[in-house]
Amino acid sequence: MNPVKENVVLIIVVIMALTLSVVVTGAFAADQPEQVIKITAKKFEYSPNVITIKKGVPVILEFTSLDRVHGFTVPDLGGIRATIEPGKTTQVRIVAPKTGSYDFHCDLFCGDGHEDMTGKIIVVE
């Protein structure tokens, strides 16, 4: 084979391999259900109150309240927020675009101690 033809064949093989790997990765990702992290809210804490997730990987936060209505907001993560009502589950899907530490808090006044109802989402590589 002449060297030019050899290079063309090599390039085609590389492109095919890359395409296949993208397809396989995509199929694999579609098979993986999104991770659900259960969080309870009560006066005046979330449990767990430190949540570690991976950058760019969607995660569902599933909240339940053990007493009354609480809020949940992460101001620095696209302004995500939710109202957590007792007797039902509330899901919030998050995808963090950047690594870092993001504070969240209750944004619905729930009594004396409401200001202490806080937590952190830690986003890792």
Residues at the site binding Cu ion, with contacts judged by CB under 5 A: 106, 110, 114, 117
Residue 91 Cβ, how far from Cu ion at the closest point, in Å? 19
Residue 104 Cβ, how far from Cu ion at the closest point, in Å? 12
33/79 with CB nearer Cu ion: 79
94/117 with CB nearer Cu ion: 117
Residue 74 Cβ, how far from Cu ion at the closest point, in Å? 15
Residue 94 Cβ, how far from Cu ion at the closest point, in Å? 20
Hey, what long-range contacts does 75-84 have (CB within 8 A, 24 or more apart)? 75/103, 76/102, 76/103, 77/102, 77/104, 77/121, 81/107, 83/108, 84/41
Distance between CA atoms of residues 105 and 70, nearest Å: 10
61/110 with CB nearer Cu ion: 110
Distance between CA atoms of residues 69 and 83, nearest Å: 7
92/106 with CB nearer Cu ion: 106
Please return the burial class of 84, using the count of CB atoms within 10 Å of its CB with bins 0-12, 13-18 and 19+: buried
